Amino acid sequence: MMDTIVLATRGSALALWQANATASALRAGCSDLAIEILTVKSGGDRDQTTELARFGRTGIFTAEVDEALFERRAHVGVHSLKDVPTALPDGLVLGGVLMRGYPEDALVSRSRVQLADLPRGARVATGSVRRAAMLRRLRPDLAIVAIRGNVDTRLAKLDSGEADAIVLARAGLERLGLGSRITQVLSREECVPAPGQGIVGLICRADDDASRRHLDRICDRESAAEALAERALLNGLHGGCNAPLGAHARARDNAISLTARVLSLDGRECIEDRIQGSIDEAEALGRALAERMAAAGAKRLIDAAREG
């Protein structure tokens, strides 16, 4: 009898791309595996008006998928890892990650003008506290405006004139075949990516040994180390997915480096640090860098951003 794995995911085009990529990887690893996809609607999908930073709970894009796992309607939850809280609900684990895509942010402007050439007062839209702070640091003369919705919705809002430019994850645009819309890829030095950006994270029940074995087969070792380092730093700073915090790890062979930046909401204050070591120490390095940055005042900036 053929084994079946049910993948739970949100229903956006990007979420379904991620689920189908996971299904393809699982089939390649085990040809006798049947894959089904279960779509759910998250709280973040139902509420398209509240700014993300104003939600009163974490996991606004993951809780309903988690419920499908607990209720045994699904075996694996497929997520953009940057949306997954670092403290998972009891009974769930990060079972694996796919090979990382592009981690950078990308600017899409209506006039095809790059960030440095946007006129003073130009409206740049983002739903991310991190991106807003990074943009204000780079161009304090711009008007940063809030935007919600999936990739297609945000692009439609841009095209209708709600903003002069928007900033989105490069990986999402490329995965949806929208790379031609990118005006400028923002370098990792200009705009430090969100922890986990570009990584597809796979959540399962801790007691589901069969699913964990399947996920272990398709897990990318270097991407998993990068995820561990970035998420350990985020957890150590109690950042959450809507803190003005960027972190980017690079794992190659047996070495890993981690760079992190925490900003004030207006972008004027900046605490940045970097650490490197063995890939086997990825999680410990993330915790160590968090401690160093906390001592330098990073938690003060994060707490002030929450109050703001």
Indicate which residues carry an active-site annotation. 83
Instruction: Calculate helix-pair angle for 13-29, 151-159, nearest 10 degrees.
Output: 150
CB 171 within 8 A of CB 101: yes
CB 258 within 8 A of CB 233: yes
Q: For residues 234 and 286, what is the distance between their CA atoms, to the nearest angstrom?
A: 8
Q: For residues 292 and 67, what is the distance between their CA atoms, to the nearest angstrom?
A: 36
Enumerate residues 6+ apart whose C-beta is below 8 A from 301. 244, 262, 263, 264, 269, 271
Residue with tokens 């031609």: 180
Edge-to-edge strand list for the sheet holding 270-278: 245-252, 255-263, 270-278
255-263 and 245-252: which strand pairing? antiparallel
Residue 57, CA distances (Å) to 52, 60, 202 in order: 10, 7, 21
CB atoms within 10 A of CB 172: 23
CB 195 within 8 A of CB 7: no
Residue 305, CA distances (Å) to 53, 85, 132, 193, 215 in order: 9, 18, 12, 18, 36
- Enter the tokens of residue 46: 């139902």
CB 130 within 8 A of CB 243: yes
